[in-house]
Structure 1
Amino acid sequence: MRTSRSQPPRIDAGLFFLRLTGCLLLLYVHGLPKVFHFSEELTRIEDPFGLGPYMSLLPAIFAEVVCPVFILAGVFARLACLPIIGVLLVAMLVVHPGWSLAEGQFGWLLLIIFTTLAITGPGRWRLGSARHNEVRYGAS
């Protein structure tokens, strides 16, 4: 039975695809290299606020490794998008303000993906959603 709050399955499929592809791209291109090459990254990371490389790298790792795992699972997805959005905005507006749109297109596309997910939420295809729907609609 469809309620006024339900949406077509293709919307949930689209949100899942957006979560999956956005998170895997962020993890593969940015997050995991920072973890696997931590010492090397400490020598290369920009320090836009003068906090030191360690205090610049840790928030980036949190946003690019921990948060995507939550988003992939659909758990606290909207909240987990916020650190990613913050790191991307710092990268695009503070660290690389002179980049052309072509040079920064990957960052801007990631920003679009995670801002969209922050607005929409993860959809129904997420961990714990079946149990949540049982409680909400009284199914047994």
Structure 2
Amino acid sequence: MATVRSLLYTSYTDIGLLWLRLAGSFILFQVHGWPKVIHYSEELTRIEDPFGTGPAFPLLTAIFAEVVCPLFIAAGLLTRLACLPVIGVLLVAMVAVHPEWSIAQGQFGWLLLTVFVGIALCGPGRWSVDATMVGKPAPSRSPARP
């Protein structure tokens, strides 16, 4: 019974991590990343430049974090590493670009930050390219003791 319970726990955890990777990546890509690519010229005129580097650098950084990295995260390829630019861009947006926002005003950004920090901490799970490349079986978990 303990083995079945452990297997179910691991499977549900892996399903949850897969869901977070796919859903979070899709939302970030669709809502933030792809519009920046298809409206690049327009975005150059309105993107914030919190560090005075000119508009091209923050826009290209955002495109990398919101288009390229979500593709890697969704596939589970170099997942933890791919989460770092996403987390960085979200932190800059929430802390440096929009410090006046309340949590309610910035809830979408904070929620995305929560999702990608969680993925970075937990890893991609068993259903990922990372797990396939490493070739190690997922560690078995001991069931909780009553």
User: TM-score normalized by structure 1?
Assistant: 0.88
Q: CA deviation at 1:131?
A: 5.9
Residue matched to 2:93 = 91
Which is further off, 123-132 or 90-99? 123-132
What is the 5 A alignment of 1:110-129?
A: 110-127=112-129, 129=131
Q: CA deviation at 1:130?
A: 4.3
Residue identity in the other structure for 1:113: V
Q: Number of paired residues?
A: 131
Q: Flag as ranges the 4+ runs of structure 1 deviating above 3 A.
A: 128-133
Q: Deviations over 1:5-53 (max 9, x none)?
A: x861010000000001100000011000000100000001000000000
Residue matched to 2:68 = 66
Q: Deviations over 1:83-127 (max 9, x none)?
A: 000000000000000001111000000000000000000001112
Higher-RCO chain (CA-CA 8 Å, sequence separation at least 6): 2
1:128–1:100 distance in 2 versus 1, CA, 3 Å: closer
DSSP-derived class of the 1:8 partner? helix
Residue matched to 2:24 = 22
What CA distance in whole angstroms lies between the structure 2 residues aligned with 1:54 and 1:131? 35
Q: CA deviation at 1:56?
A: 1.2
The CA RMSD measured in Å over matched residues stands at 1.6
Q: Percent identity?
A: 60
What CA distance in whole angstroms lies between the structure 2 residues aligned with 1:26 and 1:41? 16
Residue matched to 1:102 = 104
User: TM-score normalized by structure 2?
Assistant: 0.85
What CA distance in whole angstroms lies between the structure 2 residues aligned with 1:50 and 1:79? 26
What CA distance in whole angstroms lies between the structure 1 residues aligned with 2:121 and 2:115? 10
Which consecutive residues of structure 1, in runs of 5 or more, have no partner in the other structure?
none
